[in-house]
Amino acid sequence: MTTADETNGRRHGRRFNPDRDVAVWNGKYLPYDLVKEFLIALVVVTLLVVLLAVVFSSPDDHPVTVRSWSTAQPVDFAQTAITELDGSSAVANYGPPYNATNPGATQSIGPFSPERWFGVHHPIDTANDYVIAPLQTLPDRAALDASINAYTSASSSQQANWTTAYEKAVANATFAQGGLKVPSGAYGPVAPMISALTSMARSGALDGALLSSRQFYGTDYTKPLLFIADGTYLANLGQAQHLQGSQWGMMNETGNYPGQAWLWLYTLWYQVAPMKTSSNADLQVWAIMMLLTLILALVPFIPGLRSIPRWSRIYRLIWRQHYRDIS
Amino acid sequence: MQTLTAVMGHMVGGLINLTGPGHYIHWGFIQISAANLVVIGLMVVVFAAAILIPFRRPGGRD
């Protein structure tokens, strides 16, 4: 049925290579209804989707908002808020794309550092964006306005004295009778500011104030999400649901629902050295996956690798009837 | 009517409730949820079936 003379390779004056050249088929052809197969597959998959949706439904966890966080753990909220005000939070020191306060924090592999190249394109000034500006939106609060003015007009060393003292004290704070109870100390205007911000957060007003877009259907939740992520509340919820990066969380879904199992290879690299403890882990894992993707795309051109299907002979298992017939 | 609503609500909510604490399998540094393991197992079964189930031959014979 097929001879070497009839191969594409021979026609081009090259020696026939089974991994590169295609032998001309001179045997019988049979009709095959691809549209019919597609429609059958579509119907089967649609029925399966509907059936599984009825039987299992889907995850429906309540969203974590600034309101739910500050209601559940007001002290954690206040502890986080003071780090936003004094610029010691993780977001305040993240570097690009949010701020340029810590250029050394950018991830890099040698000179390769896209984070640094793209720079600050979603600026976040944590003190102003998370504390001062939202408080300024509260109406008819003369005492609070005076506190904000006192804080913003104070010297940076005075501000640091107030925030440092408050940061130490708020660790022992309690929440009772609808208010934050912090041991007394020399916090200046910081105590009423954080107390007011906590009340604002518990009312839900801070969620709205942190949205970048004022449109009815705002979709940019970057600021509230980063604020929430600076606290311990969200991290603890994630830990309990096995969603942390160190728990192969990329693959997991809440509860007993199956998750994104196809991301196993991506999340695997975060579990092994050196990525496990590297400060450049995200970039390193991305680079590994890009390299593997490139290798996958180039399989037809890589000697040895492209021969695996022929060597493994799985095709003979699939087409076993055909090979039985011609033997 | 209330019964119908309750039945529909139950169906929409899922006949089998998968919320609640997840089940996970730990093996060395590998950690995988039981649900993901079941899905991967089903994918392996489908893959094996795709290879092993014979093609339908013209005329209906295998």
ipTM of predicted complex:
0.80
pLDDT surpassing 70 at residue A145: yes
Q: Is residue A247 part of a domain?
A: no
Q: Is residue B33 part of a domain?
A: yes
pLDDT surpassing 50 at residue A306: yes
Chain A interface test: which of B8, B19, B46 (most A C-beta within 10 Å) = B19
Eight-class DSSP state of A141: -
Query: According to the model, what pLDDT value does residue A144 have?
Result: 93
Q: Is residue B18 part of a domain?
A: no
My answer on whether A95 and A229 are in the same domain is yes
Query: According to the model, what pLDDT value does residue B58 have?
Result: 65
Residue B56 backbone phi and psi in degrees, to 5 = -75, 130
| Domain, as residue range, for B44 | 23-62
Q: Is residue B11 part of a domain?
A: no
Q: What CA–CA distances, in Å, run from A100 to A61, A116, A203, A228?
A: 35, 10, 32, 21
Q: Are B33 and B22 in contact (CB under 8 A)?
A: yes
Q: Is residue A304 part of a domain?
A: yes
My answer on whether A96 and A179 are in the same domain is yes
pLDDT surpassing 50 at residue A2: no
Q: Do B22 and A242 touch (CB under 8 A)?
A: yes
Percentage, residues of chain A above pLDDT 70: 94
Q: How far apart are CA A220 and CA A1, in angstroms?
A: 63
Mean pLDDT of the region A22-36: 87
Instruction: Name the residue facing B18 among A256, A272, A321 (closest C-beta).
Output: A256
A278: CB partners within 8 A, 6+ apart? A284
Q: How far apart are CA A32 and CA A38, in angstroms?
A: 12
Q: Is residue A266 part of a domain?
A: no
My answer on whether A40 and A75 are in the same domain is no
My answer on whether A28 and A154 are in the same domain is no
Task: Please give the tally of structural domains in chain B.
Answer: 1
My answer on whether A117 and A221 are in the same domain is yes
Q: How far apart are CA A48 and CA A55, in angstroms?
A: 10
Q: Is residue B36 part of a domain?
A: yes
Instruction: Name the residue facing A255 among B22, B43, B51 (closest C-beta).
Output: B22
Query: According to the model, what pLDDT value does residue B55 have?
Result: 80
Indicate the average pLDDT of chain A: 90
pLDDT surpassing 80 at residue A304: yes
Query: According to the model, what pLDDT value does residue A1 have?
Result: 44
Percentage, residues of chain A above pLDDT 90: 65
Mean pLDDT of the region A265-278: 95
Question: Chain-centre distance of CA A28, in angstroms?
Answer: 53
My answer on whether A95 and A3 are in the same domain is no
Q: Are A306 and A19 in contact (CB under 8 A)?
A: yes
Q: How far apart are CA B20 and CA B34, in angstroms?
A: 13
pLDDT surpassing 80 at residue B2: no
My answer on whether A135 and A194 are in the same domain is yes
Tokens of A99: 């701020």
Q: Is residue B9 part of a domain?
A: no
Chain A positions contacting chain B at CB under 8 Å are 30, 54-61, 241-242, 247-248, 251-259, 261, 271-272, 314, 317-318, 320-321
Query: According to the model, what pLDDT value does residue B62 have?
Result: 43
My answer on whether A40 and A71 are in the same domain is no
Q: How far apart are CA A244 and CA A237, in angstroms?
A: 9
Q: ∠ at Cα A210 (A107, A99), nearest 5°?
A: 25
Q: Do A242 and B31 touch (CB under 8 A)?
A: yes
My answer on whether A159 and A185 are in the same domain is yes
Q: Write out pLDDT tens, residues A59-85.
A: 888 999 999 999 999 999 999 999 999
The reply to whether B4 touches chain A by the CB within 8 Å rule is no
pLDDT surpassing 50 at residue A317: yes
pLDDT surpassing 60 at residue B61: no
Q: What CA–CA distances, in Å, run from A48 to A42, A45, A52, A261?
A: 10, 5, 6, 19
Q: Is residue B53 part of a domain?
A: yes
My answer on whether A156 and A89 are in the same domain is yes
pLDDT surpassing 50 at residue A4: no
Q: Do A55 and B36 touch (CB under 8 A)?
A: no
Q: Write out pLDDT tens, residues A183-236.
A: 888 999 999 999 999 999 999 999 989 986 666 677 888 999 999 999 999 999
Instruction: Name the residue facing A259 among B12, B33, B57 (closest C-beta).
Output: B33
Highest mean pLDDT among A103-107, A150-154, A176-180: A150-154
pLDDT surpassing 70 at residue A286: yes
| Domain, as residue range, for A10 | 1-57
Q: How far apart are CA A286 and CA B61, in angstroms?
A: 50
Tokens of B50: 């795709």
Q: Is residue A99 part of a domain?
A: yes
pTM over 0.90: no
Q: Is residue B40 part of a domain?
A: yes
Mean pLDDT of the region A257-273: 95
Tokens of A263: 């991301």
Instruction: Kindly report the nearest CA distance between residue B15 and chain A, in angstroms.
Output: 5
Q: What is the CA radius of gyration of chain B?
A: 20
Q: Do A258 and B52 touch (CB under 8 A)?
A: no
Tokens of A147: 């506190």
Q: Are A225 and A233 in contact (CB under 8 A)?
A: no
Mean pLDDT of the region A102-127: 87
The reply to whether B20 touches chain A by the CB within 8 Å rule is yes
Q: Is residue A259 part of a domain?
A: no
Task: Please give the tally of structural domains in chain A.
Answer: 3
Q: Do A256 and B39 touch (CB under 8 A)?
A: no
Q: Is residue A289 part of a domain?
A: yes
Q: Which of A95, A176, A90 is nearest to A130 (CA)?
A: A90
